[in-house]
Structure 1
Amino acid sequence: MAASTPLRDCQAWRDARLPLSTTSNEACKLFDATVTQYVKWGNDKNLGGIEGCLAKIKAADPNFVMGHVISNGLMLIGTGSTVRLDKELDLAVKTMVEISKTQPLTPREKLHVAAVETFAKGDFPKACELWEDILWDHPTDMLALKFAHDGYFYLGYLEQMRDSVARVYRFWTPDVPLSSYVKGLYSFGLMETHFYDQAAKLAKEALAIEPTDAWSVHTLAHVHEMRAEVKAGIEFMQRSEDHWKDSDMLACHNYWHWALYLIEKGEYEAALTIYDKHILPYLRDRGSVLDLVDNCSLLFRLQMEGVSVGQRWHDVLPVVRPHSQDHILLFNDAHFLMASLGAQDRQITQDLLTGLQEASESPGENCQHLLARDVGLPLCQAIVAFKDGNADRALELLLPIRYRIVQIGGSAAQRDVFNQLLIHAALNCTSSARRNVARNLLMERNALKPNSPLTERLIRKAAAIHLM
């Protein structure tokens, strides 16, 4: 196996003070290869790809607990499968737990097992606490750091996402493998908490070390987005494209950011070209939930802008259908609903809403199901009302939860689709009192993004109906 730095064997992991409970050097190296690809957001053919590495780990040592941890953890963190519906995954998690009880594991490894088991139950906050317990004593445990980072992202815990990395950042000296990628993790947390200058500085430092760091490219794309620096954003994506286009797990998302700039400018055909050439093909090839969400979000934004997307929703719907009853993330559910409504599939729409209602009535330990009644369901019902032409009802549902939508996770750029939905609902209300809400919302948006062409278009629309 080839890699930019030597993959760590049993002794190397001990030397790093992260011992692994296996005698197989091959299993240790493959574990390192898997972590590396996860952090870099790509499947490296030289390493055998993530799936290839996981299969080889199992062959090298079937009882290697951390092999089970990373295999199950990656499946769960991808939010494309749940133990509630996927019996094979459910068995895999139970097998991991049973195997862990038969071995004298380190306290760190036991915490990893507990965290993945807890995440599988939908208790994301507790899982993040367990990963943090690891990081207190083992600040260079990349798997714990990355899993916690993703967990906080799903929860909308923006400060925790930032501070989790801040606490360990000084330990990631240049001699520690993957240290430059920690700059990217930290920069994203800084960006989401509005420290844009610091975020950009760190992301650029990371890219100076490793230009193919697609996550740091992604952070800079966010910085430009949040500042409505459309021209600079497009130029940056064009300039850096060759460095990140082969990062198969994140390339679609980076192209999505590129398309957002084009929508911002009102260049809808150019945005659709990016969609047809890059974003939809990734969904067809990979079918990942992140790619699926990006497809739904982009088409929905274009439709709110009054753009016809033709039959494109029907290309997306077959990928949505198997996930319509997952109810893993409320953020995902809202986007799946966009697709079923866009394709006018009433059955999937009804099944999704019914399933979410049932989940909210028996939430158990699942943090998303606990949030469904007060945030997830009203949000989804508002999307349905808006698509049905009932803007007044959509606004009535959205206004009370607008400051709680952050709790369903996602980035500020991703959640902006809901801000835009709120504004469009207000603009289309029949009640004059409610339509006046649009003026206030647009004043807020203009204050945050004073140079936004999209905001300017919305203001002109409001002025045309005498709201400004």
Structure 2
Amino acid sequence: MRLTDQFGYEVTVASEACLEAWNATVLAFLAHSKHTPVKLDAALQADPDFALAQSVRGLFCLLLGRREMFAAARDCLTTARRAALERDATPREQAVIEALSAWLDGWPARAADLLDAALVSAPRDALLVKLVHAIRFVLGDARGMRTSIETVLPAHDPTLPTYGYMLGCKAFCLEENGEYRAAEALGRQGLEYAPDDAWGLHAVAHVHDMTGRSEEGIAWLERHPDGWAHCNNFGYHVWWHLALMYLDQGDIQRVMALYDSEIRLDKTDDYRDISNAASLLARLELEGVNVGARWEELALLSDKRAEDGCNVFADLHYLLALVNGGRRMGTERLLASMQRQTEAGGDLAPVFEKAGLPAGLGLEQFRLGNYGSAFMYLRKARADLPRIGGSHAQRDVFERLTIDAGMRAGLFEDAKALLQERARKRGAVDRYAEQRLEVCERMRRASRVMEDERLRASAS
């Protein structure tokens, strides 16, 4: 039968009970709620042949960035296609099915395009908006994220239960495109409509990070603990943001406490959790902090994911854990997997080739102490690094490693240029950059003194 969902669009479902569970699933997904899988299961238990829910479950599987989930996603696609044919699914439902098929074939950008096309006739469908947002985020397509949300947002208004979440999505897009003031204002506004919008809350935290306002960022997050208490593992990512703020303040003790009690509360191998942990440990070590045996736990888990090869961002963080955890064989397996992916076709092959593999080799060389080589590889990857996905804040660990590699190799002018470019993009100089710019300036003055002495000596 055809029923109308909370956005006013037709869905092909077997019962009102299924539709009610589906509407709840959408709201839970938008809030990054840990109850999202439970809500989705309820919808599919009420109607196992609910094609839209099956295809969305398949997309959820792919967003996990785990190779074994591709088989589960294919099962969802098979069920969704059969159900869509038997029940004469709507064009919107068909578009989601085809988006799942496109991603499974190696074309996630095509999947996002198909969903954007479906939004032309269903612009209030916040689920599709969020799915496009998530896929383009994975692809590092900040401009595409922004275009998508700005195209549909005029169709949304405060009467919709999803309005605040949409403002949060746009806030994040603005931040990733460098419009920090507008992003902060919109993120704060969105929380007034959706107090549980952890994504919008964290968009404002991104602004604090990018503009060097860590003290304000700490106050912001600690003032809104209920904004992410309901979350799935995205909550660990918000804790990670808080730890970054404390690191910028130089409070290492607080950072380590957050790492142990919150960020790695659950020792999962989810790539998002591994990336939180590995990038934070790397930042700490760059500040001269002894992180103890913490790398070992991450390296053990990452070793088991070394041949996933389905998410460049994930692979680079697994590699970060492997090289720092001393897992030589795991490192070699992952680098070999990256090499294979450069020839695998699809959207990710050129990203592995131009960003993933050279950055991975740079991480390996950095850990071996070959800083000149590390700098060469990391700088080679730098222009294409946004395409690995993630945010500016998440990818900043690779920027820091590039800069520190240059400084350790004695390439102070190169490092200074990168620091200055980083500051221009971020809108401020943070503690990390301030300290290293001071070192670069000291080395410049020392070099000049040495050159003056050499000239005087040669003149005499």
Do both proteins adopt the same fold according to a TM-score greater than 0.5, normalized to the shorter chain? yes
1:364 to 342, 345, 348: 345
Amino acid at match of 1:216: G
Deviation at 1:24, TM superposition (A): 1.6
- Residues 215 and 249, structure 2, Cα contact 8 Å, conserved in 1: no
Which secondary structure state, in structure 2, belongs to the residue aligned with residue 344 of structure 1? Answer: coil
Which residue number corresponds to residue 454 of structure 2? none
In structure 2, the CA distance between the partners of 1:467 and 1:291, relative to structure 1 (3 Å rule), is farther
Q: Is the 8 A contact 1:10 1:24 kept in 2?
A: no
Other-structure match for 2:416: 439
Aligned residues of 1:296 and 1:338 also touching (Cα < 8 A): yes
3-state SS in 2 of match to 1:20:
strand
Distance 1:400 1:34 in 2: 43
Q: Which of residues 400, 404, 424 is equivalent to 2:404?
A: 424
Task: Check the 8 A contact 2:3/2:11 in 1, yes or no.
Answer: no
Aligned to 1:116: 100
2:440 alignment counterpart: 462
5 Å-filtered alignment, 1:133-144, equals 133-144=117-128
Q: Give the residue type in structure 2 aligned to 1:288.
A: D
- Code of the residue aligned with 2:286 in structure 1: it is M
Contact 2:302–2:321 at 8 Å: present in 1 too? yes
Tell me what 1:279 maps to: 263
Return the TM-score normalized by structure 1: 0.90
Q: Name the structure 1 match of 2:321.
A: 339
d(CA) in 1 for partners of 2:57, 2:74:
13
Deviations 1:357-395 (A, max 9, x none): 11212x232x11232122210011111111111111111
1:241 CA displacement: 2.0
Bigger drift between 439-448 and 248-257 goes to: 439-448
Write out aligned runs for 1:301-450 (5 A): 301-361=283-343, 363-365=344-346, 367-429=347-409, 434-447=411-424, 448-450=426-428
Q: Report the CA distance shift for 1:390/1:244 in structure 2 as closer, same or farther (over 3 A).
A: same
- Structure 2 letter corresponding to 1:462: C
> How far 1:167 moved relative to its partner?
1.0
**What is the CA-CA distance between 1:62 and the residue it aligns to?**
1.7
RMSD: 2.0
Corresponding position: 1:224 with 2:202: no
* CA shift for structure 1 position 450: 4.0
Amino acid paired to 1:457: Q
What residue is the counterpart of 2:458 in the other structure? none
Preserved CA contact (<8 Å) 2:183 2:203: yes
User: 1:26 Cα shift?
Assistant: 1.7
1:414 CA drift (Å): 0.8
2:178 to 189, 194, 217: 194
Structure 1 residue 268 corresponds to structure 2 residue 252? yes
Letter in 1 for 2:50: F
In structure 1, runs of 5+ residues without a counterpart are 1-8, 44-48
Q: Which one has a bigger Cα radius of gyration? A: 2
Unaligned runs of 5+ in 2: 447-460
**Percent identity of equivalent pairs:** 27
For 2:322 and 2:357, locate their aligned partners in 1 and report how far apart those are by CA, in whole Å: 16
Q: Judge conservation of contact 2:355–2:381 (CA < 8 Å) in 1.
A: yes
CA distance change for structure 1 residues 323 and 131 in 2, over 3 Å: closer, same or farther? same
Contact 1:135 1:141 in 2 (8 A): yes
2:278–2:317 contact (8 Å) kept in structure 1? yes
**Does residue 290 of the first structure (1) align with residue 272 of the second (2)?**
yes
Match of 2:24 in 1: 33
Q: Find out whether 1:24 has 2:10 as its counterpart.
A: no
The aligned amino acid for 1:443 is Q
Structure 2 CA distance, aligned partners of 1:326 and 1:100?
Answer: 31
Superposed displacement of residue 420, structure 1? 0.6
CA distance in 2, matches of 1:424, 1:233: 25
Equivalent position amino acid for 1:67 in 2? A
How far apart in 1 are the matches of 2:429 and 2:332?
40
The 1:264/1:212 distance shift into structure 2, 3 A limit, reads: same
Q: 1:51, CA displacement in angstroms?
A: 2.5
Query: Partners of 1:73 and 1:226 in 2: how far apart?
Result: 31
Question: 8 Å contact 2:358–2:380 — kept in the other structure?
Answer: no
Residue 173 of structure 1 deviates from its aligned partner by: 1.3
| 49-58 or 199-208, larger mean C-alpha shift | 49-58
Query: 2 CA distance for matches of 1:212 and 1:409?
Result: 25
Distance 1:338 1:191 in 2: 26
Instruction: Determine helix, strand or coil for the equivalent of 1:114.
Output: helix
Structure 2 counterpart of 1:249: 233
The number of aligned residues is 445
Would the alpha carbon gap of residues 87 and 207 (structure 1) be closer, same or farther in structure 2, given more than 3 Å must change?
closer
Following the alignment from structure 1 to structure 2, what is the Cα–Cα distance between the partners of residues 155 and 467? 43
* 8 Å Cα contact 1:436-1:467 kept in structure 2: no
| Contact 1:162/1:186, CA 8 A, preserved across alignment | yes
- Which deviates further from its counterpart, 168-177 or 337-346? 168-177
Alpha-carbon contact 2:3-2:12 (below 8 Å) kept: no
Report whether the alignment pairs 1:154 with 2:146: no
The answer as to whether partners of 2:243 and 2:258 remain within 8 angstroms in 1 is: yes
| Alignment counterpart, residue 60 of structure 1, candidates 36, 46, 51 | 46
Query: Post-superposition shift, 1:296?
Result: 1.1
Match of 1:51 in 2: 37
- Partners of 1:87 and 1:155 lie apart in 2 by 21
